DNA sequence: CATGGGATTGACT
DNA sequence: GTCAATCCCATGC
């Protein structure tokens, strides 16, 4: 997947990453849930500008942004937008594909549906830690591969992002519509995903 | 240098 | 439904 893919509108990248394959070591899965974050809105870490923490968000697209959440969990993002624009796509859930027994061992859980259903659970299942911050998403320890061009893109639903208190009005969370591997049940009133860029919407 | 707040999860009432 | 765990880092004094 070329850098050009990531150097675009982060909301569009978040949509198109649904269906991609995320791989680390022997474990892999299909991305079924993403969220977009852009420096122009307050829920994004890059909202505060360039700091030691957010430097990677403003850096080259197509790299990993991995940070510690609540002192406990590692959350994995793909840096998007051209260099100089702070933005990233949070990968929140996978449909497990390879290395499932290793994922089960790491998670202490048998059920497929629970292995990668949530951003902290997913990184635990795949063994992604903070040391992978800034690593490239192609040719490095972590690989993010777009689905083959002949596979139709799955139907998406969009809704508000999970676990934030600012910029809650943005529908920048995307899920594969019928997937049972998403991090939480979808709200009752489904919202059709927006076609155009939602930056500033 | 002290403080406060999380892009969460799992255990518990 | 509620709540604690746990630590990095941005902020303010």
Q: Does residue A163 reach within 7 angstroms of strand B, measured from its CB?
A: yes
| Predicted local confidence at residue A187, as pLDDT | 60
Tokens encoding A59:
């850096």
pLDDT score recorded for residue A196: 42
pLDDT of the residue at A198: 39
Is the minimum distance from the CB of A6 to strand B below 7 Å? Answer: no
Stated as kind and residue range, the H or E segment containing A13 is: helix A10-16
- Residues A41 and A169: beta-carbon distance below 8 Å: no
- A188 vs A77, residue with greater confidence: A77
Question: Which residue spans within A80-176 are E strands per DSSP?
Answer: 87-98, 142-145, 156-159, 173-176
Percent of chain A having pLDDT more than 70?
91
* Chain B, protein-covered positions (CB within 7 A): 6-10
pTM for the whole thing?
0.92
For strand B, which residues in window 35-54 of chain A come within 7 Å by CB? 35, 37, 43-46
Q: Is A73 (CB) below 7 Å from strand B?
A: yes
pLDDT at A175 exceeding the cut of 80: yes
Residue A33's beta-bridge partner residues?
Answer: A93, A175
Residue A95 has a pLDDT of 98
Give whole-number Cα distances, A52 to A40, A45, A48, A55, in Å: 18, 11, 11, 6
A52 closest-nt by C1' vs CA: C9
Digit-coded pLDDT (tens) for A58-89: 999 999 999 999 999 999 999 999 999 999 99
**CA–C1' span, A70 to C3, in Å?**
14
> Which pLDDT tens digit goes with each residue over A111-158?
999 999 999 999 999 999 999 999 999 999 999 999 887 888 889 999
């Amino acid at each position: 997947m070329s850098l050009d893919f990531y150097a675009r509108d982060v909301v569009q990248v978040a949509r198109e990453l649904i269906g991609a394959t995320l791989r680390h070591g022997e474990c892999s899965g299909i991305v079924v849930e993403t969220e977009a974050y852009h420096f122009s809105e307050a829920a994004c870490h890059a909202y505060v500008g360039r700091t030691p923490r957010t430097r990677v968000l403003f850096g080259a697209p197509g790299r990993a942004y991995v940070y510690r959440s609540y002192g406990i969990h590692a959350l994995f993002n793909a840096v998007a937008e051209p260099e100089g624009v702070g933005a990233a796509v949070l990968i929140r859930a996978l449909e497990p594909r390879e290395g499932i027994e290793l994922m089960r061992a790491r998670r202490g859980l048998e059920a497929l549906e629970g292995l990668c259903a949530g951003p902290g659970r997913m990184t635990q299942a795949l063994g992604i830690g903070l040391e992978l911050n800034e690593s490239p998403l192609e040719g490095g320890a972590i690989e993010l591969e777009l689905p083959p061009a002949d596979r139709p893109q799955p139907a998406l639903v969009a809704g508000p992002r999970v676990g934030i208190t600012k910029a809650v009005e943005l529908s920048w969370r995307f899920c594969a519509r019928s997937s049972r591997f998403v991090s939480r049940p979808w709200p009752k009133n489904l919202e059709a995903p927006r076609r155009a860029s939602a930056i500033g919407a």
